[in-house]
Amino acid sequence: MATTPATVPRARAHAPWSATAWRDTAFVASGVPLQVAGWLIAVSLWTVWTPEKAVKILLLAGASVVLVLLALRPLTSWQRERCWAMLGLHIPRMPGFDDGNLRDTLRDLRSPELWRVLQYHMVAGPFLALGGLGVIAAWASGALLTVSGVYGWALPSSSPMSPITHPARIAVLSGAGVLLLAAAPWAAAGVRLLDARAASALLGPDRARELERRVEDLAEKRASVVDAADLERRRIERDLHDGAQQRLVSLALGLGLARETLSGVPDEAMQVIVEAHEEAKEALTELRTLVRGLHPAVLEDRGLDAALSGVAARVPLPVRLRVEAEPRASSTVEAVAYFVVSEALTNVVKHARATQVDVAVIRRGDVLHVTVTDDGAGGADPSGGAGASGGRGAAGGTGLAGLARRVRSVDGTFRITSPAGGPTTVTVELPCAL
């Protein structure tokens, strides 16, 4: 079988004469004194004083613990420097551990960073040191056994190490030395890999906590974006209501007044006035619908009950509405609930062929439950395509897909049950703790 290019550098890298083998050996050898330093510091006081009374033993044990805690930060810093200088492995600092002092450490002995560092220096470190000593012993023993035959020529022929009188023994010893020299680079690479992984996992930030922190940060940023979008919609709604809508009202009133009061105007001119008046009224109606779709003012002023009552009153179907949303949720959550009901009712009118609709908006604890049920034909497509509720509604989304996206923007849940023949039930749960 032909050797792949990927395997050739790997074998050469672990040859006894390769730079990688010597780098790994130097790395694991340099770690031995640092990895046993924790226990050496812990037992140092016991070598100069061995108390017999329980109180003195406890005092000496406490002093040993304090010495170890004092040594943790410099030992950890040196280990990180060793990893960076010899392997190019960067282990980030832990603000909760590196920025404190002994008083902070004693104040918070439950710190997970402290216990992870202790695990490295007091548990993993000694085993890694044993591995490093084993690598050093393999190199030294291999070198000595390999040259034992050469050394044997300088001995008398009667010596048990003489290659003349004991050639088989010398051959076995030299072969064992060659095998040790061949195995030493692989052992060094294994210990180096274990040490690097242990140092990254125990001397750097906890990956799980880092991911959790990043998720929380992303959730906060997303909530900020959603709130900013809601504020922008409200600003646009106010600008349209106070600006363009008022101008259209004035224009429609002026055209209506001209239409009713002007006399002696040519028929062609009057027709233009009439058409302009009708266009102005249609534009005003469309603008009012757009304003309600952005963010109805009644929602901010009077809450969900009043806003949804207005929506239900405009639906050409009997709507039984129940709203129990006190205390009020944030404006963003209320806006999502409003648009969910508005979009669902619009889709029911357009697609469901229903005779009545039940809407319930109830707050239970920190969750706002929204339920819209119709007695229509059912078969709604959750993807927002064809079906009872699969169309483009007033809320601006694309059917159910738009509703689901809007609900997920505030970490809510969206479910729909719509068997063929009905009924169709849209259930939404919105967290109010925003």
- Annotate 112-155 with three-state secondary structure: HHHHHHHHHHHHHHHHHHHHHHHHHHHHHHHHHHHCHHHHHCCC
Distances (CA, A) of 122 to 24, 37, 73, 347, 399: 22, 9, 14, 66, 60
In this predicted structure, what is the pLDDT of residue 97? 73
- Architecture of domain 303-431 in CATH? 2-Layer Sandwich (3.30)
Burial of 394 per CB tally in 10 Å (0-12, 13-18, 19+): middle
Alpha carbon distance 156, 145 (integer Å): 18
Q: pLDDT band at 145, cuts 50/70/90?
A: confident
What is the full DSSP assignment across 155-224? Answer: S-TTSTT-TTT-HHHHHHHHHHHHHHHHHHHHHHHHHHHHHHHHHHHHSS--HHHHHHHHHHHHHHHHHH
In this predicted structure, what is the pLDDT of residue 377? 80
Alpha carbon distance 183, 138 (integer Å): 8
**What is the rounded end-to-end Cα distance, in angstroms, of the chain?**
63
The closest of 67, 120, 132 to 91, measured between CA atoms, is 120
* Cα dihedral value 49, 50, 56, 57, nearest 10: 130
Which range in 35-39, 51-55, 171-175, 392-396 is most confidently predicted, on average pLDDT? Answer: 35-39
Tell me which of 1-5, 104-108, 130-134, 163-167 is least confident: 1-5
Residue 137: is its pLDDT beyond 80?
A: yes
**Mean of the pLDDT values across residues 114-139?**
90
Alpha carbon distance 228, 409 (integer Å): 12
Q: Residue 317: phi, psi to the nearest 5?
A: -140, 155
* DSSP code, position 385: S
In this predicted structure, what is the pLDDT of residue 29? 92
Angle subtended by helix axes 19-48 and 125-146, to nearest 10: 120
Alpha carbon distance 372, 362 (integer Å): 12
Mean pLDDT of the chain: 77
In tens, the pLDDT along 231-251 reads: 666 666 666 656 676 777 777
In this predicted structure, what is the pLDDT of residue 282? 82
Tell me which of 17-21, 47-51, 160-164 is least confident: 160-164
Alpha carbon distance 331, 9 (integer Å): 62
Residue ranges of domains in the chain:
7-202, 225-294, 303-431
In this predicted structure, what is the pLDDT of residue 403? 80
Alpha carbon distance 56, 62 (integer Å): 10
Q: Which residues, 6+ apart, have CB-to-CB distance to 310 below 8 Å? A: 296, 298
Residue 380: is its pLDDT beyond 90?
A: no
Tell me which of 15-19, 75-79, 173-177, 392-396 is least confident: 392-396
Alpha carbon distance 89, 196 (integer Å): 8
Residue 353, by phi and psi: left (phi above 0), alpha (psi -120 to 50) or beta? left
Return the residue matching tokens 């304090």. Answer: 66
In tens, the pLDDT along 25-36 reads: 999 999 999 888
Q: pLDDT band at 398, cuts 50/70/90?
A: very low
In tens, the pLDDT along 317-342 reads: 888 899 888 888 887 888 888 888 88
In this predicted structure, what is the pLDDT of residue 1? 39
In this predicted structure, what is the pLDDT of residue 104? 63
Which pair of structure tokens corresponds to residue 129?
A: 């040191």
Which pair of structure tokens corresponds to residue 208?
A: 């799980």
